[in-house]
Structure 1
Amino acid sequence: MSQTKYGMVKNWIKSKVLDGTFEPHQKISSESELMKQFNVSRHTVRLALGDLVSEGLLYKEQGSGTYVSDKLANPGPSNETNKKNVAIIVTYISDYIFPSIIRGAESVLSKEGYQVSLFSTNNDHENERRILETIIEQRFDGVIVEPTKSAIANPNINYYLNLEALNIPYVMINAYYDELEPISVTINDEKGGFLQAEHLIKSGHKNILGFFKTDDIQGNKRMKGFIKAHREYGLPINPKNIITYTTAEKNTKPVEVLQKVLTGTSERPSGIICYNDELSMKLLDVIRQNNLQVPDDISIVGFDNSFLSEVSEVKLTTIEHPKSALGEMAADMIINLIQYGKASKLKEDQLNSYVFQPEIVVRNSTKDLNKKESNIQVG
C-alpha cells in the first residue's frame, strides 16, 4: 500500500515537471504540504522526492526546500552528435493503414541516420500522456504524432506546449489539435466525405446511410462533406441516416444500428457510406447475414483505399489515402524542423502544413441506379 502511495506522490510531481507546470528552479510544495495533499507519511514523501532528486528532475537546497532542476531544458552536450532520435506516435501500430504510414516515415528517417521509436496510444489520452512524458524525459530530437481523439478537448495540451518550450519540434499527421495550430500533414477529409456522397448521389441513390466516428476530427469533417454533398445536389437528408459513434463503440454500435435498419419496417437504404474501409468490412458482414447482395441490393463506399478494399470478394469503392507518402512527407518535415527549428528563425522558414487532396477509386461495391431506371424505361 505504501508503495502505491509513494508512486502516487512521485508520479504526480514528475507529471507536473514534465508537462511544464513546475518550471526550472521553481520551489515545489513542502514535505508537510505533500503529506497533507496525499494523506501520506513524511517517510513516503521523502522516498518520492529522493527518487526524483536521484533522477535529476529535482534538487534540494539545505534549509530552503526542494526545487525543479533545469535538466530537461539543458540536457548537456553529452552525445549531441549521435543523438538523433525521433518518436512516431500513432493511435494503432499494427492495424489497418498505420504500418504503411510508419514504413513511409521510417524509410526517410533511417536514410538520414535517425533512430525511430514507435509508440501507440490506442486512441487513449492516458496512454498519450505517458508516452509524452517518456519523450520529454528522454529528450527525443523530434516527434511525429497522430492526435488522440482529436475531436474532443485534450487533457495533454500542456505536454505539447512543453515540447515547444524545450525546442523539441513535432509534426501532426492525419489530424491536429486545433488550439495548437501545429505543422501537420493531413488529407482533405471534408472533400473525401463529399466525394463519397457525391458518387452515390450521382449514381441515383437517394436514401443513403452515413457512419462517422466523431471522437476523431476526421469523422466530423467527413460527415460535413456528406452533408454538403446532399445540400449541393438538393437531396434532403433524413437525420436518422447519420450514425455517429466513438472509438469505444466502433466494434459494436455501427453493426447493431445497421442490423436494426435492415430488419426494420422502414424503407431500406440503397447506399452506405463508411468512415473507413475497416468499418466497410464489418458492415459487409451484416449485409451478407441479411441475405442481401452488394451492389445489387445495397451499395457501399469506404475511405482510405486500404489493403482491405481488395481482399474481400466485393472490391470496394473507396477514397484514396496517401498512406506511405503521408509518412514520408511528415518525416521530411520533422528533419527540417530538427535541423532549423532550434533557431529562432523557425517562424520565418517556409515550413507549412500540407493537405493531400483525395480522389475516389471506383470498384464494384456501388451500383448506378440511373442505368437500372433507363433499362426499365426501354423495356
Structure 2
Amino acid sequence: MLPKYMVLVNWIRDRIKSQELKYGEKLSSEKELGQMFSVSRQTVRQAINVLVQEGLLESRQGSGTYVTRKIATAHTPQMVIGVISTYVNDYIFSGILRGVENVLTENGYSMQLAFTHNHIESEKKALTNMMSHGVDGLIVEPAKSGLPSPNMDLYNEALHEGLPLLFFNTYYPALPLPHVALDDMATGLAATEHLIRAGHRRVAGIFKLDDYQGRLRYAGYIRALMNAGIELDDDLVLWYSTEDFSDGFSAEKFQGRLQDATAIFCYNDQIALQAVAALRELGKQVPQDVSVVSVDNSDLAKLCEVPLTSVAHPMEDLGMTAAQNLLRLIQDPTFNATVDFPPHLVERGSVCPPRSL
C-alpha cells in the first residue's frame, strides 16, 4: 500500500501531465489538500517537497505553491519543424525560407509554416498551435522584437519543456534563446562609416522602431558618428513602425526632418526606394545631392532608378544555418547555436562625396 503522501504526489503529477494543472498555476492550499485527502498538513508538505525536488512545483514564501513545468512525457519524433516567419513576400523572406526547407528536407524533416505579418496576436496563435501539435523544434522570427512581448509566457513554457527553439533574422533580447541573424549593430556601423569615409558629416538615419534590428542598426549608426567625432543630431533621425510603413515616406516628411542631410542610411532597401522617390519629388538627385546606403542587397537595390549601395543580407545562407543549428540543438541541447553574420557592403552608384567637397 502506498504511503499517504505518495497518493497525493501521484494525484498532483497526473493533473500536471493532463494539463488540468497548467504551467504557472497556483496549487490548492495545504489546508485544502489536507481536507481533500483526509491527511495532515505535514503529509501535504511531504508530498509537495517531493514534487519541488522533481522541479514540477515551486513554493513561494507568502504566496503559495505553483506549477513550474509540465511533466516531460516520452516524445515520439514527428520529424516536423515549426517555422514562424513575419512575411512571405519576394523580398528577402523567400530566400530565407528556401534555405530552411532545403536543409530540413535533406534531413528527413517536413516544415509546418505560419506567417504573422509582424502581429503579436498572430504569433501567439502560431506558437500555441505548433506547440500543441508536438513539433520537434521551432524556428521563429519574432513579431515586433523591439517591443515588450505579451507572448513571453509561451516562450518560457517552451524553455521549461525543453523544446528546441531558435530565433532567426532577429530575436527577443530578454530571452536566453539562440539566434541566427545578420550582425545588425555591425551593419549600422559599416553602412554609416562608408558614408563618413565619402566625406559626409550630415548623415541622416531611418530606423524601424518596433523591430530589434532597427534598434541595433541605430546603435551602429551612433557608434560610427561618435568614432568620427560627429555629434548626433536628433533632427536627422526618423523612426517608423510596421503600421507606418504602408503610409510611405512623403516628400513633406523628408523636408520636415531630413532636408539638411547630405547622406541617409536607410533601414532596408524598401525604405531606401521610398527615400529616393521622396528626394526626387523635392528636386534632389541621388547621389549628387544626397547619398543613400541601405540594407539587404535585394533585387530592389539592383533595380532602383539609382542602383543602391547596400549591405548584403545572407538570406538563403541564414535560413540554411538556422535549420542546421536547430537540428543540432535537437541532438545536443548544450550546442551554442547563435550565429551573427558579419556585414558585407555591396557598392553601387548611390554614394558620392558631398557637393561641398
Question: Is residue 2:191 matched to residue 1:200?
Answer: no
CA distance in 1: counterparts of 2:233 and 2:174, whole angstroms:
33
Counterpart among 266, 273, 278 of residue 286 in structure 1: 278
CA contact (8 A) 1:319 1:358 kept: yes
* Amino acid paired to 2:345: I
CA deviation map 1:65-93 (0-9, x unaligned): xxx9x99953x67xx36x20001111112
Counterpart among 329, 334, 337 of residue 321 in structure 2: 329
Match of 2:345 in 1: 360
The 1:261–1:311 alpha-carbon spacing in structure 2 relative to 1, beyond 3 Å, is: closer
CA distance in 1: counterparts of 2:21 and 2:240, whole angstroms:
33
1:338-357 paired onto structure 2 within 5 Å: 338-340=330-332, 346-347=333-334, 350-357=335-342
The 1:164–1:17 alpha-carbon spacing in structure 2 relative to 1, beyond 3 Å, is: farther
Question: Is residue 2:262 matched to residue 1:255?
Answer: no
Deviation for aligned residue 1:97: 0.7
CA distance in 2: counterparts of 1:182 and 1:85, whole angstroms:
20
Deviation for aligned residue 1:266: 8.8
CA contact (8 A) 2:249 2:278 kept: yes
Match of 1:89 in 2: 84
CA contact (8 A) 2:22 2:70 kept: no
1:33-72 paired onto structure 2 within 5 Å: none
CA deviation map 1:199-251 (0-9, x unaligned): 11111112221100021111011111111111111122321101112111123
Counterpart secondary structure, 2:102: helix
The 1:17–1:103 alpha-carbon spacing in structure 2 relative to 1, beyond 3 Å, is: farther
CA contact (8 A) 2:145 2:210 kept: yes
CA deviation map 1:13-57 (0-9, x unaligned): xxx98983459xx78xxxxxxxxxxxxxxxxxxxxxxxxxxxxxx
Counterpart among 144, 147, 150 of residue 149 in structure 1: 144
Counterpart secondary structure, 2:127: helix
Gaps of 5+ in 1: 1-15, 28-67, 341-345, 374-379
CA distance in 2: counterparts of 1:362 and 1:19, whole angstroms:
54
Counterpart among 225, 233, 237 of residue 230 in structure 1: 225
TM-score, normalising length: structure 1 = 0.73
The 1:210–1:18 alpha-carbon spacing in structure 2 relative to 1, beyond 3 Å, is: farther
The 1:90–1:191 alpha-carbon spacing in structure 2 relative to 1, beyond 3 Å, is: same
Gaps of 5+ in 2: 1-18, 29-66
Counterpart among 179, 186, 196 of residue 191 in structure 1: 186
Match of 2:4 in 1: none
CA distance in 2: counterparts of 1:18 and 1:302, whole angstroms:
50
CA distance in 2: counterparts of 1:181 and 1:265, whole angstroms:
38
CA distance in 2: counterparts of 1:206 and 1:188, whole angstroms:
24
The 1:214–1:288 alpha-carbon spacing in structure 2 relative to 1, beyond 3 Å, is: same
* Amino acid paired to 1:275: Y
Q: Say what the alpha-carbon RMSD is for the aligned residues.
A: 2.6
The 1:229–1:71 alpha-carbon spacing in structure 2 relative to 1, beyond 3 Å, is: closer
Give structure 1 regions of 4+ aligned residues with deviation exceeding 4 angstroms.
Answer: 16-19, 70-73, 264-267
CA distance in 2: counterparts of 1:198 and 1:159, whole angstroms:
40
Match of 1:139 in 2: 134
* Amino acid paired to 2:323: A
CA distance in 2: counterparts of 1:135 and 1:354, whole angstroms:
25
CA contact (8 A) 1:277 1:318 kept: yes
Which segment is superposed worse, 328-337 or 200-209? 200-209
Deviation for aligned residue 1:164: 2.3
Counterpart secondary structure, 2:210: coil
* Amino acid paired to 1:184: H
CA contact (8 A) 1:101 1:324 kept: yes
Question: Is residue 2:62 matched to residue 1:105?
Answer: no
Counterpart secondary structure, 1:116: strand
TM-score, normalising length: structure 2 = 0.77
The 1:157–1:177 alpha-carbon spacing in structure 2 relative to 1, beyond 3 Å, is: same
Match of 1:50 in 2: none
Counterpart secondary structure, 1:318: strand
Match of 1:308 in 2: 300
